[in-house]
């Protein structure tokens, strides 16, 4: 039996303690699967003010581990502590979650968007480096860093801290290349890095420094959250000006599809929805549909199709295409329910559409896991028209609950949704509808294909639902690939 690996998992978000989207959900679910696969693992995130409130709200508690740290930030030194979240709902065997507490930097409103974010997350990374070996009981085999907020960990392990943890391998996961963590070059000093890092082969990025670029350069292995996205980011269309660097590092770049936590997203056991059902018996969806429409203040007896959206309301997600298409959808009797928050202009456009089409549009501007479950369980289809999508969880949640996804054929959407044709229906692989071009015409074409099947071919629609609900999106397969990746990273790091 292979030796268990000692792994520190570092992310800026971990659901439910701090989360704005997919990163937090992945960071909550993947460590448990990795522990089952053969890792001694613990998760680390910053101790935000909102995290403290969430811990209290959920009846958990923050326990001082007795592990302290002292980190230089520019000319100053900051004292920090490592706190453990205890008493959280869930299995007692779940890996521990630690909050790295630097009150001066994180005891404030909001997770992101502060002028000193470079100092905040650089300090978090150094706190993890110092505290994680003591929390896990010895030298680390792997530090797994996520997105730009933790991307300095591979930099520190290959640069100023290499002598302290020479055998610790680093894995960096890119959840969204669109956020490179680019800041003024002066932030190098705050991060404890010398001017030699301001170089195009290291962290220099169009006159700035990019934490994510530094992580890509220095990590032993770089992963993305779907195979298709790993290929796409090596092109100019999706590479966010880092495609050349990624092509140069293609030998250490792999795509591993995210999974879904089946204990949370399971319509047969979900306590948040009105009816219970599974792929063999969908009758419980009728009660879920009623629950959803009553919450939306719409007629629950109306049989016309409902298209749901659970998303951050941002340009990347292509929701402007939906807003543009609302008159076309309303003319065909489609009702659109939107749940999420994001860019003010897009939110206001949807609110205006709700005023213009009060019988066809409902907008709920909040991040609500409960309503996300209700919407997936009740909607006929879910729209995910992203301009790019590293993985996407919305379409996987939708399929788990029998809502048919309508997606753009990019990234993880390509890897998870099989477009319905006569051939794919006959093969039993069809799960939804997809379109190529990121414009309202492309989305309209896919919606029309879905509407034709929904209205005239109910047996085929039911087959799509069954196919989607029986797809295996569990974390077990992903965790096995991550474990293999960790062992590969360790071998690379320790290669003579």
Pull the structure tokens for residue 161. 């801290």
Cα 94 to Cα 31: distance, rounded to the nearest angstrom: 8
* Per-residue pLDDT band at 277 (split at 50, 70, 90): very high
Cα 493 to Cα 167: distance, rounded to the nearest angstrom: 6
390-407: per-residue pLDDT in tens? 999 999 999 999 999 999
**Is residue 298's pLDDT more than 90?**
yes
Phi and psi, residue 209, nearest 5°: -115, 140
**Is residue 1's pLDDT more than 60?**
no
**Is residue 87's pLDDT more than 90?**
no
70-80: per-residue pLDDT in tens? 998 878 899 99
* Per-residue pLDDT band at 163 (split at 50, 70, 90): confident
Q: Residue 433: what pLDDT? A: 98
| Residue listed under structure tokens 């205890």 | 86
Mean pLDDT throughout 222-239? 97
HEC profile for the chain? CCCCEEEEEECCCECCCECCCHHHHHHHHHHHHHHHHCEEEEEEEECCHHHHHHHHHCCCEEEEEEEEEEEEECCEEEEEEEEEEECCCCCCCCCCEEEEECHHHHCCCCCCCCCCHHHHHHHHHHHHHHHHHHHHCCCCCEEEEEHHHHCHHHHHHHCCCCCCCCCCEEEEEECCCCCCCEECCCHHHHCCCCHHHCCCCCCEECCEEEHHHHHHHHCCEEEECCHHHHHHCCCCCCCCCCHHHHHHCHHHEEECCCCCCCCCCCCCCCCCCCCCCECCECCCHHHHHHHHHHHCCCCCCCCCCEEEEECCECHHHCHHHHHHHHHHHHHCCCEEEEECCECHHHHHHHHHHHHHCCCCEEEECCCCHHHHHHHHHHCCEEEECCCCCCCCCHHHHHHHCCCEEEEECCHHHHHHCCECCHHHHHHCCCCEEEECCCCHHHHHHHHHHHHHHHHHCHHHHHHHHHHHHCCCCCHHHHHHHHHHHHHHHHHHHHCC
Mean pLDDT throughout 73-96? 87
Mean pLDDT throughout 187-201? 93
Mean pLDDT throughout 454-471? 97
* Per-residue pLDDT band at 89 (split at 50, 70, 90): confident
Cα 140 to Cα 41: distance, rounded to the nearest angstrom: 10
Cα 146 to Cα 175: distance, rounded to the nearest angstrom: 7
**Is residue 61's pLDDT more than 90?**
yes
Percent of the chain predicted with pLDDT > 70: 99
Please provide the CATH number assigned to the domain covering 285-472. Answer: 3.40.50.2000
Q: Residue 92: what pLDDT? A: 66
Are the beta carbons of 420 and 433 closer than 8 angstroms?
Answer: yes
496 alpha-carbon distance from chain centroid: 36
Q: Residue 447: what pLDDT? A: 98
Mean pLDDT throughout 460-466? 98
20-39: per-residue pLDDT in tens? 888 999 999 999 999 999 89
**Is residue 259's pLDDT more than 70?**
yes
Cα dihedral 370, 371, 372, 375 sign: positive
Q: Residue 496: what pLDDT? A: 66
Inter-helix orientation angle 319-331/440-456, to 10°: 40
**Is residue 274's pLDDT more than 60?**
yes
Cα 120 to Cα 116: distance, rounded to the nearest angstrom: 6
Pull the structure tokens for residue 229. 């996205």
Mean pLDDT throughout 317-346? 97
What is the domain partition of the chain in residue ranges? 5-259+476-494, 285-472
**Is residue 349's pLDDT more than 70?**
yes
354-387: per-residue pLDDT in tens? 999 999 999 999 989 899 999 999 999 999 999 9
Pull the structure tokens for residue 77. 């030194």
Q: How far is CA 205 from CA 186, 201, 245, 282, in A?
A: 13, 9, 11, 52
Mean pLDDT throughout 322-339? 98
| Residue listed under structure tokens 């907020």 | 149
5-259+476-494 matches 285-472 in fold: yes
* Per-residue pLDDT band at 189 (split at 50, 70, 90): very high
Tell whether omega for the bond before 16 is within 30 degrees of 0, i.e. cis. Answer: yes
Which one is predicted more confidently, 259 or 91? 259
Reported pTM: 0.93
Mean pLDDT throughout 261-273? 94
Please provide the CATH number assigned to the domain covering 5-259+476-494. Answer: 3.40.50.2000
Mean pLDDT throughout 470-492? 94
219-245 b/e (C-beta count within 10 Å ≥ 16 → b):
bbbbbbbbbbbbbbbbeeebbbebbeb
**Is residue 345's pLDDT more than 90?**
yes
Pull the structure tokens for residue 399. 């399929």
**Is residue 91's pLDDT more than 60?**
yes
Are the beta carbons of 25 and 19 closer than 8 angstroms?
Answer: yes
Cα 107 to Cα 446: distance, rounded to the nearest angstrom: 46
């Amino acid at each position: 039996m292979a030796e268990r690996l000692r792994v520190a998992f570092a992310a800026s978000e971990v659901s439910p303690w701090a989360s704005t989207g997919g990163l937090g959900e992945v960071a909550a679910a993947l460590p448990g699967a990795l522990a089952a696969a053969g890792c001694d693992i613990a998760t680390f995130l910053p101790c935000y003010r909102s995290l403290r409130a969430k811990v209290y709200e959920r009846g958990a508690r923050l326990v001082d581990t007795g592990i302290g740290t002292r980190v230089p930030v520019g000319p100053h030194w900051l004292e920090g502590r490592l706190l453990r979240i205890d008493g959280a709902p869930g299995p007692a065997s779940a890996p521990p979650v630690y909050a790295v507490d630097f009150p001066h930097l994180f005891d404030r409103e909001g997770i992101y968007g502060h002028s000193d974010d470079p100092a905040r997350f650089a300090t978090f990374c150094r706190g993890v480096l110092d505290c994680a070996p003591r929390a896990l009981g010895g030298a680390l085999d792997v530090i797994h860093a996520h997105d730009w907020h933790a991307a300095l960990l591979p930099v520190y392990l290959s640069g100023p801290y290499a002598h302290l943890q020479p055998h610790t391998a680093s894995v960096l996961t890119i959840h969204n290349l669109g956020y490179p963590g680019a800041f003024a070059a002066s932030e190098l000093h705050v991060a404890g890095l010398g001017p030699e890092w301001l170089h195009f082969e290291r962290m220099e990025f169009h006159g700035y420094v990019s934490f994510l670029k530094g992580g890509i350069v220095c990590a032993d292995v770089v992963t993305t959250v779907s195979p298709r996205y790993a290929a796409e980011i090596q092109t100019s269309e999706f590479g966010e000006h880092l495609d050349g660097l990624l092509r140069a590092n293609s030998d250490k770049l792999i795509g591993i599809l995210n999974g879904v936590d089946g204990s949370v997203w399971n319509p047969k056991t979900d306590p948040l929805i009105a009816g219970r059902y599974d792929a063999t018996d969908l009758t419980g969806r009728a009660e879920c549909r009623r629950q959803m429409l009553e919450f939306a203040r719409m007629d629950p007896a109306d049989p016309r199709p409902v298209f749901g959206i659970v998303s951050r309301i941002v340009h990347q997600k292509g929701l402007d295409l939906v807003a543009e298409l609302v008159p076309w959808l309303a003319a065909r009797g489609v009702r659109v329910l939107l749940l999420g928050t994001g860019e003010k202009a897009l939110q206001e456009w949807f609110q205006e559409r709700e005023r213009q089409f009060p019988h066809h549009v409902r907008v709920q501007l909040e991040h609500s896991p409960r309503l996300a479950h209700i919407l997936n369980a009740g909607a006929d289809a879910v729209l995910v028209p992203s301009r790019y999508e590293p993985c996407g969880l919305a379409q996987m949640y939708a399929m788990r609950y029998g809502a048919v996804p309508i997606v753009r054929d990019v990234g993880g959407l390509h890897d998870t949704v099989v477009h319905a044709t006569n051939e794919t229906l006959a093969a039993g692989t069809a799960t939804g509808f997809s379109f190529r071009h990121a414009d309202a015409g492309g989305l309209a074409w896919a919606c029309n294909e879905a509407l034709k099947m929904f209205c005239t071919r109910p047996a085929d629609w039911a087959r799509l639902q069954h196919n989607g609900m029986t797809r295996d999106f569990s974390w077990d397969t992903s965790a096995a690939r991550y474990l293999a990746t960790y062992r590969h990273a360790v071998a690379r790091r320790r290669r003579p």
